[in-house]
Structure 1
Amino acid sequence: MTYTFHRGETLSLALDALTGDPGSVTAVTAALKPLAAGRTVVDASAPATALSVAANGTTGWTLTLSATACAALTPGSYVADARLVSASGVVITDPVAIRIVEAVTS
Protein backbone atom coordinates (compact mmCIF):
# COMPACT_ATOMS: atom_id res chain seq x y z
CA MET A 1 0.00 0.00 0.00
CA THR A 2 1.24 3.46 -0.90
CA TYR A 3 -0.01 6.58 0.87
CA THR A 4 -0.37 9.54 -1.50
CA PHE A 5 -0.08 13.14 -0.34
CA HIS A 6 -0.12 16.38 -2.30
CA ARG A 7 2.95 18.55 -2.19
CA GLY A 8 2.23 21.38 0.26
CA GLU A 9 -0.34 19.59 2.41
CA THR A 10 0.18 18.29 5.95
CA LEU A 11 1.41 14.71 5.88
CA SER A 12 0.01 12.69 8.79
CA LEU A 13 0.43 8.98 9.53
CA ALA A 14 -0.87 6.91 12.43
CA LEU A 15 1.57 4.57 14.15
CA ASP A 16 -0.54 2.18 16.18
CA ALA A 17 0.83 0.00 18.96
CA LEU A 18 -0.43 -3.45 17.97
CA THR A 19 1.21 -5.25 20.88
CA GLY A 20 2.83 -4.27 24.14
CA ASP A 21 2.40 -1.17 26.24
CA PRO A 22 3.00 2.13 24.42
CA GLY A 23 3.67 3.68 27.82
CA SER A 24 6.87 1.65 28.08
CA VAL A 25 8.32 3.37 25.00
CA THR A 26 10.81 6.03 26.07
CA ALA A 27 11.61 7.57 22.66
CA VAL A 28 10.14 7.60 19.17
CA THR A 29 11.77 9.13 16.10
CA ALA A 30 10.58 8.93 12.50
CA ALA A 31 11.83 10.08 9.12
CA LEU A 32 11.33 9.69 5.40
CA LYS A 33 13.83 9.40 2.57
CA PRO A 34 13.41 9.67 -1.20
CA LEU A 35 13.29 6.46 -3.20
CA ALA A 36 15.13 6.75 -6.52
CA ALA A 37 13.19 5.76 -9.64
CA GLY A 38 13.49 2.05 -10.34
CA ARG A 39 14.85 1.28 -6.85
CA THR A 40 13.20 -0.81 -4.14
CA VAL A 41 15.39 0.35 -1.23
CA VAL A 42 16.51 3.80 -0.14
CA ASP A 43 20.07 5.00 -0.55
CA ALA A 44 21.64 5.11 2.93
CA SER A 45 23.36 8.39 2.04
CA ALA A 46 20.13 10.08 0.90
CA PRO A 47 19.05 12.99 3.12
CA ALA A 48 16.34 12.15 5.64
CA THR A 49 13.43 14.44 6.47
CA ALA A 50 12.41 14.17 10.12
CA LEU A 51 8.76 13.66 10.99
CA SER A 52 7.27 15.14 14.16
CA VAL A 53 6.01 12.53 16.63
CA ALA A 54 3.11 13.08 19.04
CA ALA A 55 1.56 10.57 21.43
CA ASN A 56 -1.94 9.52 20.42
CA GLY A 57 -3.47 8.64 23.77
CA THR A 58 -2.69 5.07 24.77
CA THR A 59 -2.97 3.65 21.26
CA GLY A 60 0.23 4.87 19.61
CA TRP A 61 1.60 7.97 17.91
CA THR A 62 0.90 10.38 15.08
CA LEU A 63 3.76 11.11 12.67
CA THR A 64 3.49 14.49 10.95
CA LEU A 65 5.28 16.60 8.38
CA SER A 66 4.13 20.22 8.18
CA ALA A 67 2.60 21.61 5.02
CA THR A 68 5.61 23.91 4.61
CA ALA A 69 8.10 21.03 4.90
CA CYS A 70 5.99 18.90 2.55
CA ALA A 71 5.99 21.72 -0.01
CA ALA A 72 9.79 21.56 -0.03
CA LEU A 73 9.76 17.88 -1.09
CA THR A 74 10.25 16.93 -4.72
CA PRO A 75 7.29 14.99 -6.11
CA GLY A 76 8.09 11.29 -6.22
CA SER A 77 8.36 8.18 -4.08
CA TYR A 78 9.54 8.10 -0.48
CA VAL A 79 9.88 5.55 2.30
CA ALA A 80 9.26 6.28 5.98
CA ASP A 81 9.82 4.33 9.16
CA ALA A 82 9.97 4.92 12.90
CA ARG A 83 12.39 3.90 15.64
CA LEU A 84 10.96 3.05 19.07
CA VAL A 85 13.13 2.68 22.17
CA SER A 86 12.04 0.93 25.38
CA ALA A 87 13.70 -0.93 28.23
CA SER A 88 13.26 -4.09 26.15
CA GLY A 89 15.33 -2.72 23.26
CA VAL A 90 14.94 -0.94 19.96
CA VAL A 91 12.29 -1.67 17.34
CA ILE A 92 12.30 -0.19 13.84
CA THR A 93 8.94 -0.35 12.10
CA ASP A 94 8.34 -1.83 8.69
CA PRO A 95 8.80 0.78 5.97
CA VAL A 96 5.80 2.69 4.64
CA ALA A 97 5.63 3.75 0.99
CA ILE A 98 4.67 7.39 0.41
CA ARG A 99 4.10 9.18 -2.88
CA ILE A 100 4.20 12.97 -3.11
CA VAL A 101 2.31 14.38 -6.10
CA GLU A 102 2.00 17.93 -7.35
CA ALA A 103 -1.31 19.57 -6.44
CA VAL A 104 -3.46 21.17 -9.10
CA THR A 105 -4.33 23.97 -6.66
CA SER A 106 -1.74 25.71 -4.57
Structure 2
Amino acid sequence: MLKLTMIDSQTKEEKTYTKDMPSARQLRRALEIQAQAEQGEMEGAAMLDEMVTYVVGVFGDQFSYDDFLDNIPSDKAFETIADVLMQVTGQKKGNDGSKKKAVKAQK
Protein backbone atom coordinates (compact mmCIF):
# COMPACT_ATOMS: atom_id res chain seq x y z
CA MET A 1 0.00 0.00 0.00
CA LEU A 2 1.28 3.45 -0.92
CA LYS A 3 1.16 6.23 1.66
CA LEU A 4 1.71 9.97 1.55
CA THR A 5 1.23 12.32 4.48
CA MET A 6 0.71 16.06 4.10
CA ILE A 7 0.09 18.76 6.66
CA ASP A 8 -2.20 21.57 5.54
CA SER A 9 -0.10 24.72 5.61
CA GLN A 10 -3.06 26.81 6.81
CA THR A 11 -4.81 24.60 9.36
CA LYS A 12 -1.82 22.39 10.32
CA GLU A 13 -4.21 19.44 9.97
CA GLU A 14 -2.50 16.22 8.99
CA LYS A 15 -3.92 14.07 6.21
CA THR A 16 -2.59 10.70 5.09
CA TYR A 17 -3.46 9.49 1.62
CA THR A 18 -3.26 5.83 0.72
CA LYS A 19 -3.48 3.84 -2.47
CA ASP A 20 -3.67 0.12 -2.89
CA MET A 21 -1.41 -1.66 -5.32
CA PRO A 22 -0.17 0.64 -8.11
CA SER A 23 -0.73 -0.51 -11.66
CA ALA A 24 2.00 -1.82 -13.93
CA ARG A 25 1.47 1.32 -16.04
CA GLN A 26 2.24 3.47 -12.99
CA LEU A 27 5.36 1.39 -12.36
CA ARG A 28 6.44 1.89 -15.96
CA ARG A 29 5.94 5.65 -15.72
CA ALA A 30 7.87 5.76 -12.41
CA LEU A 31 10.81 4.03 -14.09
CA GLU A 32 10.65 6.49 -17.02
CA ILE A 33 10.63 9.48 -14.68
CA GLN A 34 13.55 8.10 -12.67
CA ALA A 35 15.56 7.50 -15.85
CA GLN A 36 14.79 10.96 -17.25
CA ALA A 37 15.81 12.60 -13.98
CA GLU A 38 19.04 10.59 -13.73
CA GLN A 39 19.98 11.39 -17.33
CA GLY A 40 19.20 15.08 -16.91
CA GLU A 41 16.54 15.00 -19.62
CA MET A 42 14.20 17.12 -17.50
CA GLU A 43 15.24 20.22 -15.65
CA GLY A 44 13.87 22.62 -13.09
CA ALA A 45 10.20 23.48 -13.12
CA ALA A 46 9.37 21.05 -15.94
CA MET A 47 10.79 18.16 -13.93
CA LEU A 48 8.92 19.20 -10.79
CA ASP A 49 5.67 19.63 -12.75
CA GLU A 50 6.00 16.18 -14.31
CA MET A 51 6.80 14.49 -11.02
CA VAL A 52 4.05 16.19 -9.02
CA THR A 53 1.51 15.40 -11.73
CA TYR A 54 2.64 11.77 -11.57
CA VAL A 55 2.28 11.60 -7.77
CA VAL A 56 -1.20 13.13 -7.91
CA GLY A 57 -2.19 10.54 -10.53
CA VAL A 58 -0.75 7.63 -8.57
CA PHE A 59 -2.97 8.56 -5.65
CA GLY A 60 -6.02 8.76 -7.90
CA ASP A 61 -6.44 12.52 -7.65
CA GLN A 62 -7.23 12.34 -3.91
CA PHE A 63 -5.42 15.67 -3.70
CA SER A 64 -4.59 18.23 -6.34
CA TYR A 65 -1.37 19.42 -7.91
CA ASP A 66 -1.81 22.68 -5.98
CA ASP A 67 -2.44 20.80 -2.71
CA PHE A 68 0.91 19.07 -3.14
CA LEU A 69 2.75 22.31 -3.94
CA ASP A 70 1.09 24.21 -1.09
CA ASN A 71 1.40 21.55 1.60
CA ILE A 72 4.79 19.92 1.03
CA PRO A 73 7.69 22.05 2.28
CA SER A 74 10.12 23.05 -0.47
CA ASP A 75 13.01 21.23 1.14
CA LYS A 76 10.95 18.00 1.25
CA ALA A 77 9.38 18.13 -2.24
CA PHE A 78 11.89 15.96 -4.09
CA GLU A 79 12.32 13.68 -1.06
CA THR A 80 8.54 13.13 -0.96
CA ILE A 81 8.38 12.47 -4.70
CA ALA A 82 11.32 10.06 -4.47
CA ASP A 83 9.58 8.29 -1.60
CA VAL A 84 6.48 7.73 -3.75
CA LEU A 85 8.58 6.55 -6.70
CA MET A 86 10.41 4.12 -4.43
CA GLN A 87 7.12 2.81 -3.07
CA VAL A 88 5.75 2.26 -6.58
CA THR A 89 8.90 0.46 -7.73
CA GLY A 90 8.94 -1.71 -4.60
CA GLN A 91 12.12 -0.22 -3.18
CA LYS A 92 10.33 1.01 -0.06
CA LYS A 93 7.12 0.21 1.78
CA GLY A 94 4.93 3.09 2.98
CA ASN A 95 6.47 6.42 3.79
CA ASP A 96 8.31 5.28 6.88
CA GLY A 97 9.10 8.26 9.04
CA SER A 98 7.63 10.74 6.57
CA LYS A 99 4.93 11.72 9.05
CA LYS A 100 7.56 12.72 11.60
CA LYS A 101 9.55 14.53 8.92
CA ALA A 102 6.45 16.38 7.70
CA VAL A 103 5.55 17.49 11.22
CA LYS A 104 9.12 18.62 11.91
CA ALA A 105 9.30 20.53 8.62
CA GLN A 106 6.10 22.43 9.39
CA LYS A 107 7.43 23.79 12.72
Q: TM-score range by the shorter chain?
A: under 0.3
Q: Which has the larger radius of gyration?
A: 1
